[in-house]
Every structure is written in structure tokens, then in C-alpha cells.
Amino acid sequence: MVTPETSRRGLLSASALGILLLAGCGGASGGRRSGQDLSTLPAAPRAHDAAILNSALDREHELIAAYTAGVPLLDEPGKLAAEQFLGQHLAHAGRLAGWIKRARAEPNKPLAAYPLSQPRTAGEMLATLHSLEAAMITAYLAAIPQLSPGKLRADTASIVANEAQHTAVLESVLGRAPAPLALVTGGG
């Protein structure tokens, strides 16, 4: 079980603040070029979308906790990458929270602790992060067909593509062959 340490508390507080700020941005830019705006959907599909997005938000919170715990264990270049990816997951969480608010629902909050494995080395930590990223990709891809069609699906795909970039870099740092498959499913 990973629990926030004093040194991480500042990072996590900054994370929470970042999510709140970014949630405002997501809400402001939530208009759709294609498809219906989340806020104007009928109640049932709006609630359905919000539930799916909240499930994704839960996973983003878990990844944020994992990166926050993992960064101090890592060396260059993995550390640099992990810091960059942590910021990007915060942006994902902020965007998701903004969408959920537009759907007139309440974004889920992070848990106090997450049941992560106990990586002892930088390599184990990177492998744990890679596994979590891959699981995240699988979950997002399963969510896309369930979401209302239009910009929401496309913008969710834009998050998945970023997660896929994360896995490619982590594979490189781990000494694995990066981007082994033509279709990214998270299960490769």
C-alpha cells in the first residue's frame, strides 16, 4: 500500500490544485465541433457518459499517485520522463473533471492511498508504471465506443494517444523494443 509521505504531500497538493485549475479549462473548452455538447445531452446519456468518465478519472488518479511515488525512485532519463508524464496525467484528470462537470455530475476525488505493488528498484518502478499505463489504454479504448459520438470520443482518443506515447518511452527506457504492435490496445 502506498501512502502519501510528507515529501510527497506537497506534490499531491499541487496535483489537486492543478486538477481544479484544469477542470475549469476543460469546462470552458468543452464545446463540440461535432456531436452534441455534454451539457445539453438528455439526462440518461449524460449520466452514462459521466459514469464512464469518472471511471477513467479514478484510473488517472491512481496513475498520478503512482508517478508521484515513483519519481523519487528513478534515475535519468526515466526520472525526467516520469516528471513530464505526471504533469500530463494531471492535465488528463483536469480535462476529465471538466467534462464530468459539464455533464452536471461530480468528479470523483482521489483516494487517500492506492494498493500499488512495492517496487524496490528503478527498473521495477518503471515496469509498474508501464503496466498501469497499458491498463489505462485498455480501459480508455473500451470506453470510447460507449461514449456519446463526436468530439468527446475524439478528445478521449487524444488522451489515449498520449498514454501510448508514454508506453513507448517507458519501453525504450526499460530496454524493451518500443511500439511493438501496429494497433495499440494496451494488451500487447
Partner 1 sequence: MARGTTRRRLLGRAIAAAPAACLLSPATSLLAAPAARAQPQSDADLLTNALAVQQLEVYAYRRLLASTALDGDAGALVTHLLALEVQHAAASGTVPSGPADLATADRELARHPVAGRLAGTRSQHDCVKLLIDLESVAEGACYAAIMELSDAGVARLAAEVMSSEAQQWTLLDQLQHRDVIRAVPGPFVEGTK
Q: Where does this chain bind partner 1 (CB under 8 A)? A: 33-35, 77, 80-81, 84-85, 87-89, 91-92, 95, 137, 140-141, 144-146, 149-151, 153-169, 172-173, 178-179, 181-185
Of residues 4 and 58, the one with the C-beta less far from partner 1: 58
Is there a contact between 187 and 70 (Cβ–Cβ < 8 Å)?
no
Of residues 39 and 162, the one with the C-beta less far from partner 1: 162
- Smallest gap from Cβ 6 to partner 1, in A, equals 28
Tracing cell 452534441 back to the chain, one arrives at 36
Of residues 72 and 188, the one with the C-beta less far from partner 1: 188
175 exposure class (CB count in 10 Å sphere: 0-12, 13-18, 19+): exposed
Of residues 72 and 87, the one with the C-beta less far from partner 1: 87
Choose among 176, 179, 152: nearest CA to 30: 152
Locate the DSSP E strands across 2-146: none
- Smallest gap from Cβ 155 to partner 1, in A, equals 7
106 exposure class (CB count in 10 Å sphere: 0-12, 13-18, 19+): exposed
- Smallest gap from Cβ 35 to partner 1, in A, equals 8
- Smallest gap from Cβ 183 to partner 1, in A, equals 4
67 residue type, one letter:
Y
